[in-house]
């Protein structure tokens, strides 16, 4: 499932964040690349211990933790602290699959990467290239979202960031360990949840709401790992 979540941050908030990011201490992204990814990764990242990265990452987790659409789609159990990258001057990240298990530098807790997310802090017109290309069952999906918007997709997906040929692409990326490991099951639960919420709006006293809601929670109870 690939899903856009709009307006995680407002345009005014993005302008402030961009100012801070442009003044940040960027490092070679290959410092955090594995032995395979190092051959296709060419970008810059903030250290996981960077004070602003920690501050902004905490705010991202707080907002997503209160966002009904993110909760419904990701069914989060654990979230790896958000990281930040910058692509410019031809920077790219070739096709790869995210590592299955991640361990933050600032914690001993490991996170299984079920859902990947990218939160954009550059407007599409501010740079050329830099598309997030995700391969799924429907073919290649090419993503360039407005600043402040987030896209989430299965971490099992083969994906890349195409070369940024002009301008700069700023973004945050994070991984979520879902209560439901299977993307197919998460999608079924998400579709059911959306249908229930629509039914509540359209026919608030319909007797099927209670039954459907019960089925949703019984499936979640059966599939959840916590």
Nearest in space to 117 (alpha carbons), one of 77, 73, 76, 176: 176
Residues 151 and 188 in one domain: no
Residue 96 labelled as part of a binding site: yes
Element (H, E) at 184: helix 183-202
Quote the CA–CA distance of 150 and 4 in Å, as a whole number: 6
**What pLDDT is stored for residue 83 in this prediction?**
97
**What pLDDT is stored for residue 35 in this prediction?**
62
What's the CATH number where 210 sits? 4.10.860
Quote the CA–CA distance of 217 and 224 in Å, as a whole number: 10
Residue 169 labelled as part of a binding site: yes
Residue 98 labelled as part of a binding site: yes
**What pLDDT is stored for residue 167 in this prediction?**
98
The domain in which residue 157 lies consists of 1-176
User: Does some domain include residue 14?
Assistant: yes
User: Does some domain include residue 214?
Assistant: yes
**What pLDDT is stored for residue 33 in this prediction?**
61
Quote the CA–CA distance of 73 and 171 in Å, as a whole number: 21
Helix (H, G, I), strand (E, B) or coil at 197: helix
Torsion angle (degrees, nearest 10) of CA 72, 74, 76, 80? -150
Residues 172 and 196 in one domain: no
User: Does some domain include residue 143?
Assistant: yes
| Positions in the chain short of pLDDT 70 | 33-38
**What pLDDT is stored for residue 36 in this prediction?**
67
Do residues 52 and 121 lie in contact, with contact meaning Cβ atoms separated by under 8 Å?
A: no
CA distances from 148 to 10, 118, 143, 190 (A): 6, 10, 14, 23
Residue 35 labelled as part of a binding site: no
Give the distance between the most distant pair of CA atoms in the chain: 58
**What pLDDT is stored for residue 160 in this prediction?**
97
**What pLDDT is stored for residue 30 in this prediction?**
81
Nearest in space to 200 (alpha carbons), one of 62, 68, 9: 68
The string of DSSP codes covering 68-79 is HHHHHHH-EEEE
Residues 98 and 191 in one domain: no
Number of domains composing the chain: 2
**What pLDDT is stored for residue 29 in this prediction?**
87
Contact partners, residue 141, CB within 8 Å, separation at least 6: 2, 133, 134, 135, 153
Do residues 196 and 176 lie in contact, with contact meaning Cβ atoms separated by under 8 Å?
A: no
First-last CA distance in the chain = 22
Residues 113 and 209 in one domain: no
User: Does some domain include residue 68?
Assistant: yes
Tell me which long-range contacts 62-65 makes (C-beta under 8 A, separation of at least 24). 63/8, 63/9, 64/8, 64/117, 64/150
pLDDT in tens, 60-108: 999 999 999 999 999 999 999 999 999 999 999 999 999 999 999 878 8
Quote the CA–CA distance of 205 and 7 in Å, as a whole number: 31
Residues 80 and 107 in one domain: yes
């Amino acid at each position: 499932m690939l899903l856009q979540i709009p307006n995680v941050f407002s345009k005014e908030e993005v302008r402030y964040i961009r100012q801070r990011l442009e003044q940040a201490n960027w490092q070679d992204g290959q410092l955090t690349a594995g032995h395979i990814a190092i051959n296709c990764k060419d970008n810059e990242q903030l250290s996981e211990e960077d004070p602003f990265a920690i501050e902004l990452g905490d705010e991202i987790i707080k907002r997503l933790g209160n966002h009904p659409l993110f909760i419904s789609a990701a069914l989060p159990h654990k979230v790896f602290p958000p990281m930040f990258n910058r692509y410019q001057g031809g920077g790219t990240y070739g096709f790869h699959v995210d590592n299955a298990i991640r361990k933050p530098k600032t914690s001993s807790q490991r996170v299984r990467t079920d859902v990947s997310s990218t939160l954009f802090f550059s407007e599409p017109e501010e740079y050329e290239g830099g598309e997030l290309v995700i391969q799924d069952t429907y073919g290649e999906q090419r993503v360039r979202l407005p600043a402040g918007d987030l896209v989430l997709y299965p971490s099992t997906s083969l994906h890349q960031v195409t070369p940024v040929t002009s301008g700069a692409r700023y973004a945050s990326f994070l991984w979520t360990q879902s209560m439901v490991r299977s993307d197919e099951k998460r999608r079924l639960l998400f579709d059911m949840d959306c249908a229930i919420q629509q039914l509540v709006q359209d026919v608030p006293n319909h007797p099927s709401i209670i039954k459907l809601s019960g089925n949703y929670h019984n499936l979640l109870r059966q599939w959840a790992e916590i």
